[in-house]
């Protein structure tokens, strides 16, 4: 079987082809209709717990992931990483590797062509991060690529890669943030999140007027993503100027644009395909060095090349959640009303690029307070560049803010839930805008009732069960309801199937399914008559599948495309001889009215999802073992397209929050800068025994402003607040406040 050359992007009014060979196809499709469908009379699919359309393909192994794409004559590439973390590469000895059977090439600095656009320092734009592409001898971090070995089999490439040696002129790295806090600086931008610092009101006056004050510092550790599917790329050149990439990515168009820039190609000459993604969580949001290295290797050997990042390499080559040091100062009057908030964040970044963990974003709007200061600073270290990791900013920031609110509640002798209710914000006070919708109070009410919060006794250590210490804690969840320009194309095929295509990605969130539901309702037909295809830059352009924006962004585009097609089909009813089955409607980038836009729309409202999380922990007083016994979470997130897939996303976020609270922690060797926890045996994550039954529910939250479908997005909402709820429960059980995650036995005993 040979590699399929790229299909040119379709011109306006035409459908790109062919479809993904393994894309899900609705079964039992009816025969072609003889007349166009009528306008939809009401919802038929949206809001229904429909099973995943791609479930059978995944369960039976017929879903093809990037590295599994059948490409003829494919060679295998293996990255050789640096054993130094700071300095320069004096030499690379590749002679032994080159002599091995089956070796086709060994790429190293000085033996690869200079690329048109391979910058060595960056501006902090995550979409255009600095890559390490064997262009110079500078060593920025441990395990940085210093060579790529290409062979006819994976085993031969691995063996030859082990024979590559290098000499360095190196100096000891600075790889821990606490060793360089004095060098913290303020970045110009909080890209892509806005300004690094904000001030409203008079913080000093507000703090002076407070009846109660607390100041505390909270730290969160380095964490790594490690989705089930590792990062992988197959690169196929067609001549010197056209390239196809089968890449494990959350953003096919971002990969296309970056690789085109690196190699000096036109974006339309780079085609990126990825029909299934085995998890991303942010690390697959932007292209990393291995993607360009695969293309570089394929060009060097004149045949397709597959490069799969190993599990240990994923701890260095594809980003991480950076360590944060967050200090909160809160002041409140005797009634519990906040008078002052200051939230300062220091996080780590690399020396050659920058990434800011925006942990104070939610503090700017979540609670009503007239006097608020937030700041973000960075410390440059000899480490890889950090990146987005599920709910970047809010996941780490809600831990600090919600822990501080709990501490303030104890200082005021006010119930933690009551304190939050008294400080509920009815509008975004930072931007001085109304919320498009905000049902947080309803989340508090339902969550407290389902959890039985009224039975909680206030004093730490006062709740026990046969010696086991019981703790109850709660926290607020929040995440922005983002939306970006997107596009889709809709076509009624001759066989009566509504075909909808968009170049988006399904990272396990259920995109195939919910887009099918949206299209079915827009046309007013059963979902069995709809086929939705994605994962190809030959399809209309869409944003990255990150920031919980896919359903809102591409879902809106799908609805608009199908609406337009439906209207054309209805108009053709009077002309029975017209080939209506071939009419195509293209949405382009949807022109929405002001009240339906997000992100780049006119600033008329503030758009956020909210929730309330309640947790019970049980702690052995002798061993310090912590068990999460219950989690009750209630969310308000606009229209819920599919309760089944939504529940999966929210429960997954809660599980991750439990891991953040009690287990996750990437350990670096201070001497070498290398990650010590380099596989899933040493990097601890929750297992089945760590997770109780989760009680997750929704409150209705109609939102006429956020977008035409009322969608807010939930992929990251579930992880926020969970860590703080567990930390607060631990304090309630023990009377010991742990402010340094994860909460491990040694910190309690």
Structure tokens given for 304: 């397709």
The mean pLDDT of 346-364, rounded to a whole number, is 97
pLDDT of the residue at 574: 54
Quote the pLDDT of residue 336: 98
How many structural domains compose the chain?
2
Last residue of a domain, which of 530, 563, 596? 596
User: Does residue 660 share a domain with residue 608?
Assistant: yes
Confidence of residue 124 (pLDDT cuts 50, 70, 90): confident
Residue 50 lies in a domain: no
How far is it, in rounded angstroms, from Cα 326 to Cα 543? 31
Examine the pLDDT at 10 and tell me if it is beyond 80: no
User: Per residue in 595-620, pLDDT tens?
Assistant: 222 335 447 999 999 999 999 999 99
Clarify whether residues 538 and 641 are in a common domain. no
Range picked from 11-25, 399-413, 485-499 for highest mean pLDDT:
399-413
Same domain, 568 and 611: no
716 carries an active-site annotation: yes
Catalytic member of 541, 616, 664, 716: 716
Average pLDDT over residues 76-85: 98
Residue appearing with tokens 């800068």: 673
Q: Are 630 and 473 in contact (CB under 8 A)?
A: no
SS (H, E, C) 355-387: CCCCCCCHHHCCECCCCEEEEEEEEEECCCCCC
For CA atoms 534, 538, 539, 542, give the dihedral sign: positive
Whether 627 and 723 share a structural domain: yes
Question: What's the rounded mean pLDDT across residues 615-643?
Answer: 97
Is pLDDT larger for residue 189 or for residue 719?
A: 719
Name the percent of the chain lying above pLDDT 90. Answer: 84
Give pLDDT, residue 581: 41
Residue 535: C-alpha distances to residues 38, 116, 563, 587 (Å): 30, 27, 22, 18
Q: Inform me whether the pLDDT recorded for 43 exceeds 90.
A: no
pLDDT of 567: 84
- Are residues 563 and 656 both part of a single domain? no
Instruction: Examine the domain organization and report whether 541 and 633 are in the same domain.
Output: no
Q: Does 550 reside within a domain?
A: yes
Residue 547 token pair = 């920031």
Q: Is the pLDDT of residue 4 over 50?
A: no
Per-residue pLDDT, 584: 52
Choice among 230-234, 597-601, 627-631 with the minimum mean pLDDT: 597-601
Residue 415 CA: distances (Å) to CA of 71, 485, 738: 62, 43, 20
Which contiguous run of DSSP H or E holds residue 519? Answer: helix 511-523
Give 27's pLDDT tier (boundaries 50, 70, 90). very low
Q: Provide the pLDDT for residue 571.
A: 75
Q: What does the pLDDT look like over 247-270, one tens digit per residue?
A: 999 999 999 999 999 999 999 999
Of 567, 596, 625, which residue sits at a domain end?
A: 596
pLDDT value of position 5: 31
Strand, helix or coil at 609? strand
Domain-embedded: residue 627:
yes
Confidence class of residue 668 from pLDDT cuts 50, 70 and 90?
Answer: very high
DSSP structural state of residue 684: -
Same domain, 567 and 630: no
pLDDT (0 to 100) of residue 413? 98
634 and 554 part of one domain: no
Same domain, 684 and 651: yes
705 in a structural domain: yes
pLDDT score of 21 more than 90 = no
> Which of 219, 259, 217 lies closest to 236 in space, CA to CA?
259
Q: Is residue 507 part of a domain?
A: yes
Q: How confident is the model at residue 34 (pLDDT cuts 50, 70, 90)?
A: very low
> Which domain covers residue 723, as residue numbers?
436-482+604-749
Task: Give the residue-averaged pLDDT of 64-72.
Answer: 98
Q: How confident is the model at residue 565 (pLDDT cuts 50, 70, 90)?
A: confident
Asked if the structure places residue 410 within a domain, the reply is: no
pLDDT in tens, 142-182: 999 999 999 999 999 999 999 999 999 999 999 999 999 99
| 476 domain residue, yes or no | yes
User: What is the pLDDT at residue 24?
Assistant: 34
* Confidence category of residue 30, pLDDT binned at 50, 70, 90: very low
Q: What percent of the chain has pLDDT over 70?
A: 90
What single DSSP character describes residue 569?
H
DSSP string, 443-498: HHHHHHHHHTGGG--SSTT--EETTEEEEEEEEEEEEE--------EEEE-TTS-E
Average pLDDT of the residues in 332-352 = 98
Do 615 and 564 share a structural domain? no
Q: For residue 121, what pLDDT is reported?
A: 67
State residue 125's pLDDT score.
Answer: 85
Among 78-92, 185-199, 454-468, 691-705, where is mean pLDDT lowest?
A: 185-199
Q: Where are the beta strands (DSSP E) in 266-334?
A: 270-273, 305-308, 324-332
Tokens describing residue 423: 């400080």
Q: Which residues contact 486 (CB under 8 A, 6 or more apart)?
A: 502, 504, 540, 541, 542, 543, 553, 554, 556, 557, 589, 590
Supply the pLDDT for residue 493. Answer: 82
The answer to whether the CB of 321 falls within 8 A of the CB of 222 is yes
- Return the ∠ at Cα 365 (arms to 363 and 370), rounded to 5°: 90
In a shared domain, residues 710 and 664: yes
Q: Which of 541, 575, 596 is the last residue of a domain?
A: 596
Mean pLDDT of all residues in the chain?
A: 90
pLDDT at residue 22 is higher than 50: no
Residue 720 lies in a domain: yes
- pLDDT at position 673 is 96
Q: Full-prediction pTM beyond 0.85?
A: yes
Q: 116: burial class by Cβ within 10 Å (0-12, 13-18, 19+)?
A: exposed
Residue 587 and residue 508 in one domain: yes
Q: Which residues contact 457 (CB under 8 A, 6 or more apart)?
A: 463
Find the CATH number of the domain harbouring 559. 3.30.365.10
d(CA 510, CA 364): 32
User: What is the per-residue pLDDT for 570?
Assistant: 80
β-bridge mates for residue 628, sequence order: 617
Q: What one-character DSSP code corresponds to residue 276?
A: -
């Amino acid at each position: 079987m040979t590699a399929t050359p790229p299909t040119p992007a379709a011109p306006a009014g035409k459908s790109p082809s062919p479809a993904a060979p393994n894309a899900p196809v609705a079964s039992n499709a009816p025969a072609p209709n003889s007349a166009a469908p009528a306008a939809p009379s009401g919802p038929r699919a949206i809001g229904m717990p429909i099973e995943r359309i791609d479930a059978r393909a995944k369960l039976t192994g017929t879903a093809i992931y990037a590295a599994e794409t059948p490409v003829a004559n494919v060679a295998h590439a293996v990255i050789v990483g640096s054993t130094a973390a700071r300095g320069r590469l004096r030499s690379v000895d590749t002679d032994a590797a080159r002599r091995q059977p089956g070796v086709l090439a060994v790429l190293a600095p000085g033996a690869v062509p200079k690329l048109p656009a391979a910058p060595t320092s960056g501006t902090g734009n995550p979409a255009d991060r600095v890559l390490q592409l064997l262009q110079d001898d500078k060593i920025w971090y441990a395990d940085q690529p210093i060579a790529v070995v290409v062979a006819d089999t994976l085993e031969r490439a691995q063996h030859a890669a082990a024979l590559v040696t290098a000499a360095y002129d190196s100096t000891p790295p600075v790889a821990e943030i606490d060793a360089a806090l004095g060098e913290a600086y303020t970045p110009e931008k909080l890209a892509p999140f806005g300004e690094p610092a904000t001030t409203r009101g008079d913080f000093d006056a507000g703090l002076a007027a407070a009846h109660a004050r607390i100041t505390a510092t909270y730290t969160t550790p380095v964490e790594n993503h490690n989705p089930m599917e590792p990062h992988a790329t197959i690169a196929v050149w067609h001549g010197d100027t056209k390239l196809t990439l089968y890449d494990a990515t959350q953003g096919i168009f971002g990969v296309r644009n970056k690789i085109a820039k690196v190699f000096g190609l036109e974006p339309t000459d780079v085609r990126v395909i990825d029909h299934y993604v085995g998890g991303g969580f942010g690390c697959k949001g932007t292209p990393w060095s291995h993607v360009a290295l695969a293309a570089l290797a394929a060009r060097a050997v004149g045949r397709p090349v597959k490069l799969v990042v190993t599990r240990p390499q994923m701890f260095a080559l594809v980003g991480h959640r950076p360590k944060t040091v967050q200090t909160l100062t809160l002041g409140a009057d005797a009634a519990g009303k906040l008078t002052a908030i200051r939230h300062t964040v220091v996080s780590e970044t690399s020396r050659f690029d920058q990434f800011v963990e925006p942990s104070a974003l939610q503090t700017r709007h979540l609670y009503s307070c007239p006097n608020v200061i937030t700041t973000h600073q960075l410390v440059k270290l000899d480490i890889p560049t950090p990146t987005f990791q599920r709910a970047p900013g809010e996941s780490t920031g809600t831990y600090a803010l919600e822990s501080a609110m709990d501490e303030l509640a104890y200082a005021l002798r006010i119930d933690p839930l009551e304190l939050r209710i008294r400080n509920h914000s009815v509008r975004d006070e930072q931007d001085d805008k109304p919320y498009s919708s905000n049902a947080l109070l309803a989340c508090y009410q339902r969550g407290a009732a389902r959890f039985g919060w009224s039975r909680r006794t206030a004093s730490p250590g006062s709740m026990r069960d046969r010696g086991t210490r019981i703790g109850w804690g709660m926290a607020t969840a929040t995440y922005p309801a983002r939306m970006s320009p997107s596009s889709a194309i809709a076509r009624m095929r001759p066989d009566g199937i509504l075909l909808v295509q968009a170049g988006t990605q399904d990272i396990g969130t259920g995109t195939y399914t919910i887009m099918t539901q949206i299209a079915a309702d827009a046309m007013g037909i059963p979902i069995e008559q709809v086929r939705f295809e994605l994962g190809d830059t030959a399809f209309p352009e869409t944003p990255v599948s990150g920031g919980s924006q896919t359903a809102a962004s591409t879902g809106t585009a799908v609805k608009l495309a199908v609406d337009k097609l439906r209207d054309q089909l209805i108009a053709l009813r009077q002309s029975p001889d017209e080939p209506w089955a071939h009419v195509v409607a293209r949405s382009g980038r949807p022109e929405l009215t002001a009240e339906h836009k997000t992100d780049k729309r006119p600033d008329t409202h503030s758009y956020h999802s909210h929730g309330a999380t309640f947790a019970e922990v049980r702690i052995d007083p002798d061993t310090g073992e912590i068990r999460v016994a219950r989690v009750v979470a209630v969310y308000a997130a606009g229209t819920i397209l599919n309760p089944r897939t939504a529940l999966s996303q929210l429960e997954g976020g809660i599980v991750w929050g439990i891991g953040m609270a009690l287990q996750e922690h990437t350990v670096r060797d201070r001497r070498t800068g290398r990650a010590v926890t380099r596989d899933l045996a040493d990097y601890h994550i929750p297992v089945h025994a760590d997770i109780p039954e989760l009680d997750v529910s929704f409150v209705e939250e109609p939102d006429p402003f956020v977008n035409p479908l009322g969608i807010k997005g939930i992929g990251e909402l579930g992880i926020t607040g969970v860590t703080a709820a567990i930390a607060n429960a631990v304090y309630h059980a023990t009377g010991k406040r742990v402010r340094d995650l994860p909460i491990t036995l040694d910190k309690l005993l």
